[in-house]
Amino acid sequence: MSEGPIIRTESLTKIFEEGKKQEVTALNDVNLEIGRGEVFGLLGPNGAGKTTLIRILLGLLTPTKGKAYVLGKDVEKEKQYIRQRAALLPQEAGIYELLTARENLVFYGGLYGIEEEELNKRADRLLEIVDLKDREDHLVKGFSGGMKRKVLVARALIIEPEVVFLDEPTTGVDTIGARVVRNVLKRLSSEENRTIILTTHDLNEVSELCDRVGILNKGELVATGKPSQLEDKFRAANLEEVFTGLVTGEGVYGE
Q: Residue numbers of the site for ligand ATP (CB under 6 A)?
A: 16-17, 24, 26, 44, 46-52, 91
Residue 84 interacting partner from ligand ATP, Mg ion, none (CB closer than 5 to 8 Å by kind): none
CB of residue 183 to Mg ion, shortest distance in Å: 24
C-beta of 167 vs 241, nearer to ligand ATP: 167
CB of residue 215 to ligand ATP, shortest distance in Å: 11
Counting contacts by CB under 5 A, is residue 200 touching Mg ion? no
CB of residue 44 to ligand ATP, shortest distance in Å: 5
C-beta of 4 vs 145, nearer to ligand ATP: 145
In three-state form (DSSP H/G/I as H, E/B as E, the rest C), the secondary structure along the chain is CCCCCCEEEEEEEEEECCCCCCCEEEEEEEEEEECCCCEEEEECCCCCCHHHHHHHHCCCCCCCEEEEEECCEECCCCHHHHHHHEEEECCCCCCCCCCEHHHHHHHHHHCCCCCHHHHHHHHHHHHHHCCCHHHCCCEHHHCCHHHHHHHHHHHHHCCCCCEEEEECCCCCCCHHHHHHHHHHHHHHHHHHCCEEEEECCCHHHHHHHCCEEEEEECCEEEEEECHHHHHHHCCCCCHHHHHHHHHHCCCCCCC
C-beta of 4 vs 94, nearer to ligand ATP: 94
Residue 47 interacting partner from ligand ATP, Mg ion, none (CB closer than 5 to 8 Å by kind): ligand ATP
- Binders in 14-53 for Mg ion, by CB under 5 A: 50-51
CB of residue 105 to ligand ATP, shortest distance in Å: 25
- Binders in 60-99 for Mg ion, by CB under 5 A: 91
Residue 48 interacting partner from ligand ATP, Mg ion, none (CB closer than 5 to 8 Å by kind): ligand ATP
CB of residue 26 to Mg ion, shortest distance in Å: 10
Burial class (CB in 10 A: 0-12, 13-18, 19+), 91: middle
C-beta of 26 vs 159, nearer to ligand ATP: 26
Interaction site with Mg ion (CB under 5 A) = 50-51, 91
